[in-house]
Structure 1
């Protein structure tokens, strides 16, 4: 499987790390309206600061709506103006690599090169 940003990932030892197998519903803070810009990893947004950080090349996702909402509420006021919605997706092994961190509510997702990430996510209207 070739991942988006494959060339950069290959420059980092053991990147990406293990892959959680199976389908998983995950949530992400996104822009309003949701665009491709909602799915740019920190390594691209903040380069060159995170070029050597494997996790920064993935997308930060959450295992439940409440965890994503908490992250949204913890963003700076400036970022909250841009990232004001939460989207969810049922990601499969074909979509990319899902890595879970020590915090079991947080995942890093490395999309497969040809995954249409925008079509994989839908806005959530909860609470």
Structure 2
């Protein structure tokens, strides 16, 4: 994208959000790899390039400065946030599943008669 007479900043920010979606795909799994400086630098380089296009800045501007001007959150923080949300949701799902099993009284050791019909209430036997 050209720095002048190109798309508006809002359109550039939309393109930046697409780049973030691509960069953060599966972040819950690989976020720990960002502790290695080489991998973090690669992610920052891509994010910096996109932020330079959003801010219409020159390439001599530092990564942190251009991200502040473009209003972009660093990729490492976004990835860590996604992992925290993923872990929290996963633990809530486990807790709700345990509560459901406890309240229904259904365990793996029960006979077929106490288990719900997998075909639903409209089966011919009902």
* TM class by smaller structure: under 0.3
TM-score when scaled to structure 1? 0.22
TM-score when scaled to structure 2? 0.22
Greater fraction of residues in strand: 1
For the pair shown, the structure with the greater C-alpha radius of gyration is 2
